[in-house]
Amino acid sequence: MSTTRANSKRKDMVAAALRLFAERGIKATTIRDIAQEAGVTEGALYRHFASKEQLAQSLFAECAAILYQSLSAAIDGVEGSHARLCALARGFFDFAETNPEAYEFVMARHHDSVTGPRPGQPLPKDIFVNVMREGMAAGELRTMDAHLAAAMMIGMCLRTVFFWDRGMIKATREEIVGEICEALHRIFEMDAETVQKNGHLAGVPQELRI
């Protein structure tokens, strides 16, 4: 088999695995299921991946990297902590909408078998934590545990996407992101008087100011 054809087959296997993992979860998906979905033999699949777990681990690393890059791009050049939080929320929704299978897998379906990223690989949550830390250090966000703050924001976005995807929320995407931005502003802002006094609302859209 030529290298080009082998690479094409591998892509088919990875795409099939992602579809099934996102739909069923890792434990409920077998190697046979993936091979049938990809239109290859189980032997062919094992030539590329030693096990289902290795395939899932590789997929998680790839999907997490894509989400990390998407979130990094979303805040690139954005000034001001509140504006950056809004940009992260928008980037989160963008990823969920444009990469639904990767989003479902990396945010909801990997936990039953995947142990984590590759050693040294940055995770999407790191971006949230860093933005929170930078905002607190600059006096733009109230002081609290940065990981807790990141978890609160990610949880808000995660459950909102879940409800929206299942038709429980009737608002438009832009309305939803706007509401999340407003909520983030109210949850994490410094005391309003302190913010106004120190001019820390610079860069925050007018409609998000109190």
Instruction: State the pLDDT at residue 123.
Output: 87
Residues 63, 86, single domain; the answer is: yes
Instruction: State the pLDDT at residue 61.
Output: 87
Residues 151, 114, single domain; the answer is: yes
CATH number, domain containing residue 165: 1.10.357.10
Residues 26, 90, single domain; the answer is: no
Residues 33, 68, single domain; the answer is: no
The single residue listed with the structure tokens 């990297």 is 65
Residues 24, 86, single domain; the answer is: no
CATH number, domain containing residue 30: 1.10.10.60
Kindly tell me the sign of the dihedral angle through the C-alpha atoms of 40, 41, 43, 46.
positive
Confidence label for 165 from pLDDT (cuts 50, 70 and 90): confident
Cβ pair 78, 84 in contact under 8 A: yes
Residues 65, 163, single domain; the answer is: yes
Q: What pTM does this model have?
A: 0.79
From CA 80, how far away is CA 174, in angstroms rounded?
Answer: 21
Instruction: State the pLDDT at residue 204.
Output: 44
Could you list the residue range(s) of the whole structural domain that residue 154 is in? Answer: 53-208
From CA 176, how far away is CA 104, in angstroms rounded?
Answer: 19
Q: What percent of the chain has pLDDT over 90?
A: 59
Instruction: State the pLDDT at residue 197.
Output: 53
Tokens of 24: 């069923």
Residues 38, 128, single domain; the answer is: no
- Domain end call among 13, 29, 49: 49
Confidence label for 208 from pLDDT (cuts 50, 70 and 90): very low
C-alpha closest to that of 132 among 83, 92, 85: 85
Instruction: Enumerate the H helices of 76-145 as residue ranges.
Output: 81-98, 100-104, 124-137
- Domain end call among 13, 34, 49: 49
Residues 13, 61, single domain; the answer is: no
From CA 167, how far away is CA 152, in angstroms rounded?
Answer: 23
C-alpha closest to that of 16 among 38, 45, 47, 40: 38
- Domain end call among 27, 49, 71: 49
From CA 146, how far away is CA 164, in angstroms rounded?
Answer: 27
- Encode pLDDT of 64-116 as tens digits: 899 999 999 999 999 999 999 999 999 999 999 999 999 988 887 656 566 66
For residue 48, pLDDT beyond 50: yes
Instruction: State the pLDDT at residue 6.
Output: 60
- Encode pLDDT of 121-140 as tens digits: 888 999 999 999 999 999 99
Residues 202, 108, single domain; the answer is: yes
For residue 188, pLDDT beyond 80: yes
CB atoms within 10 A of CB 7: 12
Residues 57, 148, single domain; the answer is: yes
Q: Which residues pair with 141 in a beta bridge?
A: 189
Residues 91, 13, single domain; the answer is: no
Instruction: State the pLDDT at residue 206.
Output: 43
C-alpha closest to that of 44 among 34, 30, 57: 34
DSSP state letters, 11-66: HHHHHHHHHHHHHH-STT--HHHHHHHHTS-HHHHHHH-S-HHHHHHHHHHHHHHH
C-alpha closest to that of 124 among 105, 145, 143: 105
For residue 207, pLDDT beyond 50: no
From CA 184, how far away is CA 5, in angstroms rounded?
Answer: 48
Confidence label for 10 from pLDDT (cuts 50, 70 and 90): confident
Residues 39, 57, single domain; the answer is: no
Average pLDDT, the chain: 85
Instruction: State the pLDDT at residue 203.
Output: 44
Number of domain units in the chain? 2
